[in-house]
Amino acid sequence: MSLSALRVLSILGLFGLLVGCGRDVPPPAAGLLQHVPSDTPYVFVTSQPLPDTLRGRLGDHYAAQLAAQRAAIVALRQQMDVTDDAPSVARQAAQAFDVLDALFVEFEGRDTAAAVRELGIEPVPRLVFYGIGLLPAMRMEIADAARLDEMLDRVERRAGLPVEKSLSDGQAYRRFDLGELDAVLAVTASHLIAGLLPDAYFDRDLPLLLGQQSPERSLAAAGDVEILIERHGFTGYGEGFLKLDGLLATMLGRGAGRNAELMQGLWSASPPVSRGCIQMMQDLVAGMPRMVIGVTAAGERRLAARAIWEGMPAVTSYLQKLASPVPGLGEPYDGLISLGLGLNLPQLRNAIEALLDTLIAAGSSCEWVNPASLQAVMPQLNLALGPMTAGIKGFNLRVDDLTIDPQTLQPSKLQAGLLAAVDDPRGIFALGAMLNPALAALEVPNDGSVVDLPQDLGLNKPTPPLKVAMKDRALVLLAGGTPDALARSLLDAGLTTPPPLFAMDYGIFRLVERFGGLMAVTADRLSQQGEQEMAQQLLDQLAGFRVQAQLFERLRVSVYASAEGLVMDQVMELR
């Protein structure tokens, strides 16, 4: 797609980020999804209205984010030294930033949902984002049609954006020429409609985009979204899918219907890819052909979402073997931050070897594969994930408290514990004793008792006070003034089902509260050293963090494998 599309898609993408639910209206099967072709390769739709209090808080949050964006856009635009003889890509990128700047001018000072609605925009709308074939389209509820039209007029004038205004069966629309593709914006009494259409089929597809013509079979009639909600436990507050196999087939010139027409129209020649490479990519994607996402819970103080990379049974069965249980990993945590991994390294090595074997086998028919280079990776893989590391199962790090001295940028207070899940904790400690004689004289019982480590460990840099404990198949290291109780809580923690491959839990508000001042001091130092640009970037980041901290208290993320595929759960606790 031409980069000049960014001039308009920047606006469309911004609206698309405002995902939520708006006023209480009929369910999507009777509304939004009736405009979506059943063969769309991707869709995201907000189906049910969020609780009123939550919707109000999210609206103010989105408004505050929008109001703070222009400074960053201006800074990025100023970094672009674009002249008349600059490459076309650079000029088009600069034009995209000019459009964004013209748009964000509208949001300056509008840091509440009510203020954004004065522009005709509903900050937390019901919307559907989908594909008419491969090309994106969107239908989004608005607050006021006349005010939104006026805002779009101002953005066009401010950005110097060329636009053709016309009518289709009485419906006004704006058409932006992007070469072989055209962008369309239309404002109805209740919705903003946006999308990309190919020049060759513009007249045919415009009524479909504008809702003046129904698809041969709609997603509402197919019932795919309702099946998605039931299968994955979604709530209707927002869900969608991305068909990777369909997108890949289209990009490789093997699409059907509108996708085939689009590829033939934009790229008359077939993609320069051999049959062997095409077959290899299709075989790889066939194992995990679709991604889905949806909201699983929504309340006044909590939002939860789930993303699933769906897989075939043979693939998901193997994915579930990759996890290794680690005590406490994935459990709710109320400290500053926790994170960890749980991986069965021998199974991971086997999975990587199987993938490399598949690629090597394709090497004879796919020009992208260099079998000799891949075969050279095998010995390194066996060394990194061989017998020496087979007993390492994962770790769980918890940081209860941390304070950084703004003058020295060194920790002045630290309370943290690291649990290593290993088959032989005593053997790991003995290995450390071989490397550092100061540890050799220590007796560490395998009953969870906490033992102080020597202060002089022979390290080049000073270290905080350290303690160690071990129990069963776990080794714990405590740092700073950490109470012994943290070691016991780590060692005695239960195992989460299903076991996470990765988990993280952090207090957004506490982190900003603790380190916001440090970031401001660092920015001031940078400014004094003549690094004004870097200082401003740091301050802009801090402003963004503080906006997040006004709404969110904690964020919990867990990645694990299930019979459905590779799953990521995310829970956001609101203040």
Query: pLDDT at residue 441 above 90?
Result: no
For the chain, helix (H) and strand (E) counts, in that order, are 19, 19
| C-beta neighbour count of 532 within 10 angstroms | 12
pLDDT for 269 equals 56
- What is the number of alpha carbons within 13 Å of residue 403 lying toward its C-beta? 6
Please tell me what DSSP assigns to residue 481: S
Q: Is 30 left (phi over 0), alpha (psi -120 to 50) or beta?
A: alpha
- What is the number of alpha carbons within 13 Å of residue 358 lying toward its C-beta? 15
Question: Could you tell me which residue, 265 or 533, shows the higher pLDDT?
Answer: 533
- 211 closest CA partner among 137, 291, 286: 137
Query: pLDDT at residue 10 above 60?
Result: no
Query: pLDDT at residue 120 above 60?
Result: yes
Question: Could you tell me which residue, 459 or 245, shows the higher pLDDT?
Answer: 245
Question: Could you tell me which residue, 26 or 38, shows the higher pLDDT?
Answer: 38
Reported as a single tens digit per residue, the pLDDT across 312-336 is 999 999 999 999 999 999 999 999 9
Q: 495: pLDDT confidence band, cut at 50, 70 and 90?
A: very high
The answer to whether the beta carbons of residues 342 and 324 sit under 8 Å apart is yes
pLDDT for 481 equals 79
Please tell me what DSSP assigns to residue 107: G
Rounded-to-integer distance, Cα 39 and Cα 130, Å: 10
The predicted model gives 405-428 an average pLDDT of 87
The predicted model gives 433-444 an average pLDDT of 77
Reported as a single tens digit per residue, the pLDDT across 354-400 is 888 888 888 778 888 888 888 898 888 888 888 888 899 999 999 99
Rounded-to-integer distance, Cα 103 and Cα 335, Å: 40
| C-beta neighbour count of 79 within 10 angstroms | 9
- The two structure tokens encoding residue 297: 């819970």
Q: Hunting for tokens 């003034």 — which residue is that?
A: 481
The predicted model gives 469-480 an average pLDDT of 92
Q: 437: pLDDT confidence band, cut at 50, 70 and 90?
A: confident
pLDDT for 55 equals 86
Rounded-to-integer distance, Cα 454 and Cα 476, Å: 16
Rounded-to-integer distance, Cα 36 and Cα 241, Å: 13
Q: 228: pLDDT confidence band, cut at 50, 70 and 90?
A: very high
Rounded-to-integer distance, Cα 330 and Cα 575, Å: 21
Reported as a single tens digit per residue, the pLDDT across 157-200 is 988 888 899 999 999 999 988 888 899 999 999 999 999 999 88
- 147 closest CA partner among 113, 105, 183, 192: 192
The answer to whether the beta carbons of residues 411 and 404 sit under 8 Å apart is yes
pLDDT for 82 equals 57
- The two structure tokens encoding residue 375: 């075969």
Query: pLDDT at residue 561 above 60?
Result: yes
Rounded-to-integer distance, Cα 420 and Cα 559, Å: 19
Rounded-to-integer distance, Cα 69 and Cα 151, Å: 17
pLDDT for 521 equals 87
Query: pLDDT at residue 535 above 90?
Result: no
pLDDT for 442 equals 82
The predicted model gives 538-559 an average pLDDT of 88
Q: Hunting for tokens 């869900």 — which residue is that?
A: 239
Query: pLDDT at residue 117 above 60?
Result: yes
Q: Which string of DSSP letters, residue by residue, matches 122-168?
A: -SS--EEEEEETTEEEEEEE-S-HHHHHHHHHHHHHHHT---EEEEE
Bond prior to 37 in cis (omega within 30° of 0): no
pLDDT for 209 equals 96
pLDDT for 546 equals 85
- Any idea which of 224-233, 303-312, 421-430 has the lowest mean pLDDT? 421-430
Residues 6+ apart with CB under 8 A from 502: 339, 340, 341, 342, 557, 558, 559
Angle between helices 244-251 and 275-286 (to 10 degrees): 170
- The two structure tokens encoding residue 94: 């600069």
CA angle 235–236–241, rounded 5-degree value? 105
Angle between helices 258-266 and 244-251 (to 10 degrees): 40
The predicted model gives 224-250 an average pLDDT of 91
| Helix or strand holding residue 279 (H, E) | helix 275-286
Query: pLDDT at residue 99 above 90?
Result: no
The predicted model gives 101-112 an average pLDDT of 90
Please tell me what DSSP assigns to residue 390: T
Average pLDDT, the chain: 85
pLDDT for 270 equals 59
Query: pLDDT at residue 233 above 50?
Result: yes
Rounded-to-integer distance, Cα 156 and Cα 176, Å: 11
Q: Which string of DSSP letters, residue by residue, matches 180-244?
A: SEEEEEEE-SSEEEEEEEEGGGHHHHHHHHHTSS--SSBHHHHTHHHHHHHHHT--SSSEEEEEH
pLDDT for 563 equals 95
Rounded-to-integer distance, Cα 28 and Cα 226, Å: 10
pLDDT for 22 equals 38
Report the percent of the chain where pLDDT is more than 70.
Answer: 90
Reported as a single tens digit per residue, the pLDDT across 268-312 is 555 677 888 888 888 889 999 999 999 999 988 899 999 999 999
Q: Is 472 left (phi over 0), alpha (psi -120 to 50) or beta?
A: left
Angle between helices 275-286 and 345-362 (to 10 degrees): 150
pLDDT for 4 equals 37
pLDDT for 263 equals 73
Rg for the chain, CA atoms, rounded = 28
Beta-bridge mates of residue 551: none
- What is the number of alpha carbons within 13 Å of residue 309 lying toward its C-beta? 14
Question: Could you tell me which residue, 484 or 260, shows the higher pLDDT?
Answer: 484
The answer to whether the beta carbons of residues 391 and 430 sit under 8 Å apart is no
Angle between helices 532-551 and 52-67 (to 10 degrees): 170
- 346 closest CA partner among 393, 310, 385, 320: 385
Query: pLDDT at residue 436 above 80?
Result: no
The predicted model gives 460-481 an average pLDDT of 86
Rounded-to-integer distance, Cα 163 and Cα 167, Å: 13
Q: Within the chain, what is the greatest distance between any pair of CA atoms?
A: 88
Query: pLDDT at residue 53 above 80?
Result: yes
